[in-house]
């Protein structure tokens, strides 16, 4: 899912484990390109996707595990992440 309102990009997707790290992969063509600036230090561009690492302390705090859905956005010029409300 992708939405853009008032310059804020909101995306939803599943968390995967890549190289032993919880990661959200966002294709650049579906909004990842608009999250690059606010994910410096926690993400890398690999091929045609933005790979955003979800650090262990944050995953624990938000209850994020492999396979769960998260919602991310760039409101306020910052990277914001939360577990999707209808994800169990």
Domain annotation covers residue 19: yes
Dump pLDDT digits (tens) for 21-79. Answer: 999 999 999 999 999 999 999 999 999 999 999 999 999 999 999 999 999 999 999 99
Record the pTM. Answer: 0.86
Q: Which residues of 40-72 are buried (b: 16+ CB within 10 A; e: fewer)?
A: eeebeeeeebbbbbbeeeebeeeebeeebbbbb
Domain annotation covers residue 45: yes
pLDDT for position 4? 62
pLDDT level of residue 86 (50, 70, 90 thresholds): confident
pLDDT for position 67? 96
Total domains in the fold of the chain: 1
pLDDT at 80 over 70: yes
Domain annotation covers residue 11: yes
Q: What CA–CA distance (Å, rounded) separates 73 from 28?
A: 14
Domain annotation covers residue 88: no
Please report which residue ranges of 1-88 form alpha helices under DSSP H. 56-62
């Amino acid at each position: 899912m992708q939405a853009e309102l008032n310059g804020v990009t909101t995306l939803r997707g599943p968390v995967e484990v890549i190289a032993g790290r919880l990661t959200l992969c966002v294709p650049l063509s579906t909004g990842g390109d608009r999250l690059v600036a606010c994910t410096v230090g926690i993400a890398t561009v690999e091929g045609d996707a933005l790979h955003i690492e979800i650090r262990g302390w944050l995953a624990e705090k938000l209850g994020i595990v492999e396979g769960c859905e998260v919602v991310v956005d760039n409101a306020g010029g910052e990277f914001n992440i939360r577990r999707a409300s209808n994800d169990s």
